[in-house]
Structure 1
């Protein structure tokens, strides 16, 4: 009796199936490090652009106006005459400059709103129970919180 060794049928592409998860993991790590690098660069640009008079928010939520910048620290005025020194890395973002033209147009709109006879009529669409025609409707009834047997 003679035994013959017959090779087993193999599934094609065995190396590719093992290599694919490794490629995906390396790609995810590269993508995450790339986004962190962009975020660090954006923070460095923000800190480099600091100038006296800029309004900033720190990472802890402190709002102030830049008075002075140093190599490592920024001096912020958080209230009239109150100066705080923080590390440059603590500056979260710079607030955009506000124009004075918005205040002037808002004041003109407020003056126009009180001139006419309809200035007394106030329409509050979000008020509960109020309709646009001024009538009050019944408040919706809530379902009972328990059942009675």
Structure 2
């Protein structure tokens, strides 16, 4: 008996299949670090641009107006006459000031939305009233005193008696 050794079929490109997951992992790490770097830069720009009179929100959610800016600390007025010091890194974001033009535009939009909502309510009430009238005309409701064929529920018992 003669045994012939046949070579195994190779998958070809074995090196690239090993490198592909490694390349993907390195790419994901690079992308995440790039995003975090941009966020840190944006935070640093926000803190550097702080001036007295700017309305801000801290990372803990405290809202206040900047009174004084030092090298490490920011003094915020959180209520009339109440001053609190925060570390600069605790400033989360700056609240943009509303101008009178934006306020007038917002009020006009709110008025238009209120009128539209009121019109929609009236139309909805009319449709509901018509639907009720149609249902009363077409549905035959049995009298309350009439005997029903099935008074017992068809649900299975919840427990058994011994």
Question: Is the TM value for this pair above 0.5?
Answer: yes
The alignment yields a C-alpha RMSD, in angstroms, of: 3.4
Shift in alpha-carbon separation, 1:86–1:126, aligned structure 2, 3 A:
farther
- CA deviations on 1:88-109 (whole Å, 9 max, x unpaired) are 11101111122134456788x6
Q: Give the SS at the match of 2:7.
A: coil
Residue equivalent to 2:100: 100
Residue equivalent to 2:75: 75
Question: How many Å separate the matches in 2 of 1:34 and 1:99?
Answer: 35
Q: Please, what TM-score do these two structures have when normalized by structure 2?
A: 0.65
Residue equivalent to 1:27: 27
If you compute each CA radius of gyration, which structure gives the higher value, 1 or 2?
A: 2
Flag structure 2 segments of 5+ consecutive residues without an equivalent.
Answer: 133-152, 155-162
The within-5 A match list for 1:81-96 is 81-96=81-96
Write 1 or 2 for the structure with the bigger share of helix.
2
Shift in alpha-carbon separation, 1:4–1:27, aligned structure 2, 3 A:
same
Flag structure 1 segments of 5+ consecutive residues without an equivalent.
Answer: 114-121, 141-147
- CA deviations on 1:48-99 (whole Å, 9 max, x unpaired) are 0000010101111111100001111100001110111111111011111221
Matched pairs, number: 129
Once the two structures are TM-superposed, the CA of residue 123 in structure 1 deviates from its matched residue by: 4.8
Question: How many Å separate the matches in 1 of 2:34 and 2:28?
Answer: 10
Once the two structures are TM-superposed, the CA of residue 8 in structure 1 deviates from its matched residue by: 2.1
Question: How many Å separate the matches in 2 of 1:17 and 1:53?
Answer: 59
The within-5 A match list for 1:35-50 is 35-50=35-50
Residue 9 of structure 2 is aligned to residue 17 of structure 1: no
Q: Is the 8 A contact 1:123 1:132 kept in 2?
A: no
